[in-house]
Amino acid sequence: EAHTTLSITVVGASGDLAKKKIFPALFALFYEDFLPENFVVFGYARTKMSDEELRNMISKTLTCRVDKRENCADKMEQFLKRCYYHSGQYNSEEHFGELDCKLKEKEGGSLSNRLFYLSIPPNIFVDVVKCASNNAASTSGWTRVIVEKPFGRNSESSRELTRSLKQYLSEDQIFRIDHYLGKELVENLSVLRFSNLVFEPLWSRNYIRNVQFIFSEDFGTEGRGGYFDNYGIIRDIMQNHLLQILALFAMETPVSLDAEDIRNEKVKVLRSMRPLQLEDVIVGQYKGHSKGGKSYSGYTDDPTVPKDSITPTFAAAALFINNARWDGVPFLMKAGKALHTKKTEIRVQFRHVPGNLYRRNFGTDLDKATNELVLRLQPDEAIYLKINNKVPGLGMRLDRSDLNLLYRARYSREIPDAYERLLLDAIEGERRLFIRSDELDAAWSLFSPLLRELEEKKIAPELYPHGSRGPIGAHYLAAKHNVRWGDLT
């Protein structure tokens, strides 16, 4: 379609996310020939900058994933030539009008599709959307807007945001991004489940004892304390990233792979869950300490965080799905900052083998003999299944071994960044991996009452040392549901 121009405007172009993720992802798409012939990229922010200065800024973060290719420098050059900058206020129709003129000039009267990426705080979403949609009225193609979380702080504020956005945009123009849905192994979750006979029939309370969603980072909130303190780990990670993965994991088989069919199933499973209560969670916060002559700062040592903050940087939660498939199965979540390792995984623990002939080989601890399926989302992507195996030799000794699909050993291709897939999907109008407003609402309904109670009752987080495995309370919570965390055994 030589006569179509695609413009991608990154609003909040000088921010961290834009620099680290959005521009590099756009370049990667260009590099792999996924962008249309005629495209332009615009950065928009308040900072005064020239086109050249923007290009300089961006160029520092572009990488050629496959550095072997010699034409990389050329490609970067070509990409940067298509990047422009416009500075303006976020609530100024006049400044957006100027941007519109610049866009029109580049579009040269062709059919013009416009994608806006709002990489800005939510309190200015609506202003920007209002201005951008004003402009949309005068263009011939589509206008779509990608928005990043936080989508509110609770059910009410999220509904309010949805309502305001809908004054200017229709639901199918709004692309609510949750970058976890763009991760390779999350995409693969449905493939693993629905296209393998050895897993599909096992996917229920009949065979699965519990499922664990574990997110851990080995760094604190340094530099983001101001944002983080207003949200906390439950809103930052659980209510969105982990819950989205849970929904994909647990949903019923969709009618097809169409976006609406998949999202219908996700909403259904979210609505089958009981809202969390205080006894379903434990919260923690990391504290400073020193070890081996090095000192690690605590959450409240951050100058942008109030000294008496009780915002959780760690949480563990037990969720239940009240439907025929999952009745009684604990879905556990654990998310934390400043822990001992950086890792995200899904762990599926299967039931004991009834009447296991080999039970005496496991002593009294049958838990040691359960099969466990692990999807390691990052780093070092892998899917492995723990099975019981006979140790070779004349005796009869069993141990647990892994059937291991390690991505880097199996595939030489590098795994694309989540933002590449999601940007490409937004450009192509594929909505499967974006959050529909009813999904968002269902997700907030689960966490909103709990968050209110935690805050009203000022529940103090359990302190854990920076770099540790997190608060001990997470074990008690799991034990209450007869579960052991798979990442600790």
- Active-site positions? 241
Cα gap 252→67, rounded to integer Å: 42
Secondary structure (3-state) at 320:
coil
Shortest Å, Cβ 469 to ligand BG6: 18
Cα gap 445→439, rounded to integer Å: 10
Cα gap 125→147, rounded to integer Å: 8
Q: Are 404 and 379 in contact (CB under 8 A)?
A: no
How many other β-carbons are positioned within 10 Å of the β-carbon of residue 393? 7
Binding status of residue 265 toward ligand BG6 by CB under 6 A: no
Amino acid at 165: L
Shortest Å, Cβ 238 to ligand BG6: 11
Residues 6+ apart with CB under 8 A from 7: 39, 40, 41, 42, 103, 106, 107, 112, 113, 114, 115
Residue nearer to ligand BG6 on the CB measure, 236 or 302: 236
Shortest Å, Cβ 372 to ligand BG6: 22
Q: Check residue 54 and give left, alpha or beta (phi > 0: left; psi -120 to 50: alpha).
A: alpha
Shortest Å, Cβ 90 to ligand BG6: 21
Task: Please select the residue that binds ligand BG6; options are 100, 229, 236, 265, rule is CB under 6 A.
Answer: 236
Q: What sign does the dihedral 221-225-229-235 (CA atoms) show?
A: negative
Structure tokens at 1: 């379609």
Cα gap 217→197, rounded to integer Å: 34
Binding status of residue 372 toward ligand BG6 by CB under 6 A: no
Cα gap 338→103, rounded to integer Å: 43
Q: Are 20 and 61 in contact (CB under 8 A)?
A: yes
Site for ligand BG6 in 215-234 (CB under 6 A): 217
Q: Are 87 and 45 in contact (CB under 8 A)?
A: yes
Shortest Å, Cβ 337 to ligand BG6: 7
Cα gap 431→181, rounded to integer Å: 11
Structure tokens at 322: 């009240």
Residue nearer to ligand BG6 on the CB measure, 151 or 249: 151
Cα dist from 318 to 65, 331, 447, 451, whole Å: 39, 6, 12, 15
Q: Which residue is nearest to ligand BG6 (CB)?
A: 236
Shortest Å, Cβ 342 to ligand BG6: 8
Shortest Å, Cβ 242 to ligand BG6: 11
Residue nearer to ligand BG6 on the CB measure, 179 or 347: 179
Shortest Å, Cβ 236 to ligand BG6: 5
Q: Are 292 and 212 in contact (CB under 8 A)?
A: no
Residue nearer to ligand BG6 on the CB measure, 10 or 338: 338
Site string for ligand BG6, 130-159 (x = CB under 6 A): ------------------------------
Residue nearer to ligand BG6 on the CB measure, 86 or 466: 466
Site string for ligand BG6, 167-196 (x = CB under 6 A): ------------x-----------------
Cα gap 150→122, rounded to integer Å: 7
Residue nearer to ligand BG6 on the CB measure, 49 or 338: 338
Residue nearer to ligand BG6 on the CB measure, 236 or 439: 236
Residue nearer to ligand BG6 on the CB measure, 113 or 239: 239
Cα gap 315→296, rounded to integer Å: 20
Residues near ligand BG6 (CB under 6 A), total? 3
Cα gap 151→169, rounded to integer Å: 16
Residues 6+ apart with CB under 8 A from 36: 1, 4, 5, 6
Binding site for ligand BG6 (CB under 6 A): 179, 217, 236
